[in-house]
Each structure stands twice: as C-alpha cells, then as structure tokens.
Structure 1
Amino acid sequence: MGLFSKQRLGIDLGTANTIIYIDNKGIALREPSIVARNIKTGEVVAYGKEAAKLVGRTSDTYETIRPIRDGVIADFSLTKQMLAHFIKQAVLRSLSRPEVVICVPSSISKVERRAVIDAIKDLGIHRAMIVEEPFAAALGANLAIEEPRGKMVVDIGGGTTDIATISYGEIVNGSSSRAGGSLMNETIMAYVRNHYQLAVGDYTAETIKIVLGNAMFTEQDTSDKLKVRGRNIATGVPDEKYVEASIVAEAVDEVIQMIVTSIKQVLEQTPPELSADIIENGIVLTGGGSLLKRLPERLHDEIGIPVNLASVPLDSAAIGAGKMLKQLDIQSKIAEKKAR
C-alpha cells in the first residue's frame, strides 16, 4: 500500500511557487518553492512558507535554497523532497499512488523533461505526464484552444515568461525567456542599491514590487513611496530609506521591455490567419508576474493588440494541468500501442 491516497493532481512546479490542483476539488496547496536545510547535516528543516520566513535570517548553520531555477530543476534531491512534502500536505491521507500532470516551461530540453518525470516518479507516482506551461495556462484561463482559431497566452512566472500561439489544440509557435518575476526582483535590488546605497534582500524586493511596482508610471504616482529597511553599503550598518515609485518603475521597465520584445518575436512568426484571430481575441496574461500594476494597459500600448488578465492568473497553469488529467488515459493507450 502506497503513501498517497488515490488522487489525480495537476502541479505547477514553479520557480517562485508550487501550486497543486486536485481533480474535482480545486486548488489544494500554494506554497513558495523554497526549502531550508542544515548545512552540516544536509537535513531539510523547513519547506514552503516556513522556509520563506528564514530567507535572509539564518545563521551559518542553515541555508535557504530554491531548488527550481528559471523553471527547471537545479537541485534534483531537494526538488523530490519538497514535492513529496507538498503532495503529502495537499492529499492529507494516503491509500494509493496518485496520477500527476505537471507543468514545465516550453523551452526546457528533453534531458530536463526526463529529470522532471524521474523526480515525481521516484515519489511513488502511478502515472505522470508533462504539459507545457503556456498550454496549461491557456486551458486554465478557459480559452477555447481546441478551435481552429488563433489564441495567444503570455504566462509570466517567477523564473520564466512563456509565450505561445495556440490553435486547434496545439502550440503553433512560442518562446520562453528569463524575463519573469525573479528578474524583476533582481533589478529592483540593483536599483535600490545604486540609487539609495541600500542593500536589500529578495523578500524586500518582492514587497517593493507588490506595493510600488508599476508598468505605466504617471505623474499621479510621483508621490508614492515606501519606507524600506536594509544595510547601508557605505557604513555597513542597518539603515532605512524611502524608495520612490519612479525608481521602481525604471527597474521593472527593463524586464517589461524584454517581455514586449519576446511577444513581438512570437507574433512575427505567427501565420497571418492566426494573427488576425489574435487581433480579434486579444492576448491573455497569466502567472503571478502578470499582476504587476497596469501591465495589460502597457502591453496594449506597446503592441497595439488588446491584452486581458485571466480571472485567476496565479492559478491558471495548475488549473489547466488539472484539466489535462483526462488526457492521461488517452496518452497511456497511445504509449501501449507504440510499445506493441
């Protein structure tokens, strides 16, 4: 008898967050993709939210690690431990091995795909299937992707932004880049350091992005600021400064421009007939990074095509993976025929 109850799971294994969807129940878990471990013993002492509380606050004995980087597995062992912990949390009681559909960025290699499959199968998973992130996000955003009409989804996650043109149930063309939420945090940290001589960590940068981040800075936002604590890089002692929204807008603009460029490149490769459909239907934004203030309006201005935010952008990929669970039986039959 296995460790898990008989469940069918859709998993969005992201750089920033891991989200688990349970068939017929909905979103069961949403946790940061972080673990904390004892450096000397290698023992993991905290996962998810508990580990996130320790970021930047640990001694030399402990370290916090993101085992998923830029959308792919960077630490195989820690990823397996983290997934096992999250699945147990989501499923609660366990009687038999679950079936899983898991999202991955569209650009990862065959070797990286195999690493994802191996990681989850080592947990005692009965069956597993991989689905590309933008395809799952489109399903989760309720786009009618089975129609022979062009749909475009832009999934802005923590580690990657995945863009795809989809028609007749398939990805026609797309791209994946590192221009995600984590890169925005990195640029914010660099700008705060350069403009205020203040060193801040990733957690503080994320807070700054949520509070002050703005894709279309206007004069009305000039007075917006946030008191931020960090380390003065000149004196080396704790300090606090007021960070202005204009500086944060400059920081995130670098990443937004990368996203705009990627969208234009995908549109240039899209067949004319599908391009006409996209002009009519618009572009759909999903992923946590799409929650940046005024981002749909900014992309509309830059590209000239309507841009709409999905109803549940953070959960779209996990929900889409959940909808793909019914494909497991079909894929299994196809594999059996090929094996004969």
Structure 2
Amino acid sequence: MFWNKQRLGIDLGTANTIIYIEKKGIALREPSIVAKQIETGEIVAFGKEAEQLVGRTSDKYEIIRPMRDGVIANFELTKQMLSHYIKQAVHRSISRPEVVICVPSNISKVERRAMIDAIKDLGISRAMIIEEPFAAALGADLSISEPRGKMVVDIGGGTTDVATISYGEVVDNITTRAGGNRMNEAIQAFVRENYQLAIGYGEAEALKIEIGNAKFTEYDKNDKMVVKGRNIATGVPDERIIYAKVVSEALDEVISMIVTSIKQVLEVTKPELSVDIMESGIVLSGGGALLKRLPERLYDEIGIPVHLSKIPLDSVAIGAGKMLKELNKQGKEHERRSR
C-alpha cells in the first residue's frame, strides 16, 4: 500500500514526456508516442518501444503522437500514455498524487482545462499548470523573482516559447510552431526535393543531431552522413551521401522563424527590461537548443549574448519539480487562472 503523497513535475511535450519526482529528480524520459492496433483499437506500445515501430509497421498498426504543438490532440490516448508513464516512473501504485504540469505560454483556457481534466481523470488529487518558459527559467536556475528582466527561449518538439520574465511573472511572450519536429520535417522535405529520396522521421532526426548546425562554417564542409530511404523515381530502396551544408540549408528557415519570434518579443519589451536582458543575455532550453552552434547564430542575428542552460532537455521538467515547493502557497491562484 502506498501511503505518502507522491508529487510529480511533468513536462508533457510534443516530442517527449519527462517526469520529475520530488526529492528524487528526473525519473522518466520517453517519446510522446503511442502505437495502436487499428482493427481492435488496442494500445500495443508506448514511448521508445512504439518509436521502434515507426516506419516499420504493417497496415495493422498506427503510430500516433497524442500531443500536437504542445497541446492535447487526442484526449483519450494522452490519458493512457500519461498513466502508463506515471506508473513506470514511480515503479509502484500511487494514491492520488499531486502534479505540476507545463504548457506552452499561448494556449487557450479551453486547452488549459483539457490538460487539467486529462490528468485529474487519472485520479490526481491536485494539478497546477505553469507556462513552459517560466518552468525553463526555474530549471535553468535563473533568479526570476528579482526585479530584473530575463529572457528564456525554450525550443521544444512542437513549439518554441520566447518569454521575458521579471518579478516572478511572464511579462511578454510569443509561441511559434518552430520546434524540433519542424526542423526534422524541413530536412525530410529538403532531401526529397534535392536528392529525390524519401527518408523517415528518424533518419531526419539523425541528420540533425549528427551533422546539423545553425551556423555553417568551412570546418563543416567535409561532415557527411549516409542516409537510406526510398528513391522517389524508382520506388525502390536507395541511399545518398548528405553533407552538413545541405542540412544547414534545410534548417535555415526554421531558425529564422525563431529569430523573428525573439525580435518580436524584444520589440514590445520595456526599455528597462531590455537593458537587463542585454546585460544578462538570453537563455536557451529545450531539446532543440542542442542544435550545434545555435547560440552563436542567434547572437549574430540579434546582438545579445546567448547561453545554453545546464541541462536543456530537462530544464522544463526540473522547473516543474521546483514549483512543487510552491504548490500549497500558489496552487489556488494558478488553478483559478487555469479555469
């Protein structure tokens, strides 16, 4: 029997779900993917296990991402996936845990309510929603309660959140659909158009990680990778050598969208806060922030120092975990705003 109250911080993202357990730290990191048998509707796999089936399953199975652009696209599958991950993270049955969960800063009240309903349907006793850039700032150990402006750019799978924070609140923010997934899709489209090769999502992800970069230099010109896919002209399996310059060109449009969003937030930021941001710089978090030389590219475009948070992939979940300490004090106010 489980008697103590379990408290969890959850980054329920488009690409990955990360769970933080109070006093223990990160307990789970899994892709936000579900595999379902089409004929029966039965769920056959979650996360990494389901990811292995992507592009390799017959027509009997369907691969579903229940989260889209940071919000719930499939309510029932999101609940099942989250229930599975919570049980997997705590390794035992739990009794009405308390949860802090993160969402993009621009979601509607209806989407916020859907998120709370999804997790409360799992038997969770209390749920508090916080905005992803706020959580990312906490997870990056920024002193956000100070009367000084901070800027956080959280590049997730589905969205990029840009926000200025001061006095413990988000002051100005923009969310754009320019996350890691869009980068992968841009690589797929570029390889298809220029090499007549259709490649899978996993191959595009591998290209991004292995030879992708935000600021191509002469030192990268020999970086290359062999990718396999389907020849569009012949319809048969084929492979091509892809160079880093090609991947960089494919990523350029998505990076430009992120740059534009940062500039848009800076344009509406109060002068006093802008001075603070110039001094302290911009902090990057999220899995997309790991793209090679992204801080340097953003500095070149914007002229403000850009720093990578200590653990970019986990910053939001860690920040949610830190908010667990504030659950009793701030929970009622956050729940009121979420209605």
Question: Does the pair score TM above 0.5?
Answer: yes
TM-score, normalised on structure 2? Answer: 0.97
TM-score, normalised on structure 1? Answer: 0.97
Tell me if the contact between 2:128 and 2:331 (Cα under 8 Å) persists in the aligned partners: no
Unpaired segments ≥5 residues, structure 1: none
Task: For 1:242 and 1:335, locate their aligned partners in 2 and report how far apart those are by CA, in whole Å.
Answer: 51
How big is each residue's C-alpha offset from its partner over 1:293-333, in whole Å with a ceiling of 9 and x where there is no partner? 00001101110000000000000000000111122212345
How far off is 1:6 after superposition? 2.8
What's 1:45 paired with? Answer: 44
1:6 aligns with 2:5: yes
Tell me if the contact between 1:6 and 1:94 (Cα under 8 Å) persists in the aligned partners: no
AA at the equivalent of 1:70: D
Tell me if the contact between 2:128 and 2:334 (Cα under 8 Å) persists in the aligned partners: no
How big is each residue's C-alpha offset from its partner over 1:186-210, in whole Å with a ceiling of 9 and x where there is no partner? 1000000011110011111101100
What's 2:74 paired with? Answer: 75
What's 2:150 paired with? Answer: 151
How big is each residue's C-alpha offset from its partner over 1:190-241, in whole Å with a ceiling of 9 and x where there is no partner? 0000111100111111011001111010112111110000000000000011
Q: In the superposition, relative to structure 1, how do residues 255 and 337 fare at CA in structure 2: closer, same or farther (>3 Å)?
A: closer
How far off is 1:247 after superposition? 0.8
AA at the equivalent of 1:300: Y
AA at the equivalent of 2:294: L
What's 2:162 paired with? Answer: 163
AA at the equivalent of 2:291: L
How far off is 1:269 after superposition? 0.5
Task: For 2:11 and 2:95, locate their aligned partners in 1 and report how far apart those are by CA, in whole Å.
Answer: 22
AA at the equivalent of 1:173: D
Unpaired segments ≥5 residues, structure 2: none
Q: In the superposition, relative to structure 1, how do residues 277 and 289 fare at CA in structure 2: closer, same or farther (>3 Å)?
A: same
In the TM superposition, 1:123-138 aligns within 5 A as 123-138=122-137
Q: Secondary structure at the match of 1:131?
A: strand
Q: Secondary structure at the match of 2:228?
A: strand
How far off is 1:337 after superposition? 11
How big is each residue's C-alpha offset from its partner over 1:147-172, in whole Å with a ceiling of 9 and x where there is no partner? 00000000000000001000000001
Tell me if the contact between 1:7 and 1:99 (Cα under 8 Å) persists in the aligned partners: yes
What's 1:208 paired with? Answer: 207
What's 1:322 paired with? Answer: 321
Q: In the superposition, relative to structure 1, how do residues 84 and 336 fare at CA in structure 2: closer, same or farther (>3 Å)?
A: closer
Task: For 2:71 and 2:57, locate their aligned partners in 1 and report how far apart those are by CA, in whole Å.
Answer: 25
Tell me if the contact between 2:6 and 2:94 (Cα under 8 Å) persists in the aligned partners: no
Task: For 1:336 and 1:261, locate their aligned partners in 2 and report how far apart those are by CA, in whole Å.
Answer: 32
Task: For 2:51 and 2:196, locate their aligned partners in 1 and report how far apart those are by CA, in whole Å.
Answer: 25
What's 2:237 paired with? Answer: 238
What's 2:267 paired with? Answer: 268
What's 1:90 paired with? Answer: 89
Q: In the superposition, relative to structure 1, how do residues 186 and 332 fare at CA in structure 2: closer, same or farther (>3 Å)?
A: closer
Runs of 4+ in structure 1 deviating by more than 4 angstroms, as ranges, are 332-338
Q: Secondary structure at the match of 1:314?
A: helix
Query: Percent identity over the alignment?
Result: 74
Tell me if the contact between 1:5 and 1:97 (Cα under 8 Å) persists in the aligned partners: no
Identify which range, 329-338 or 205-214, moves more after superposition: 329-338
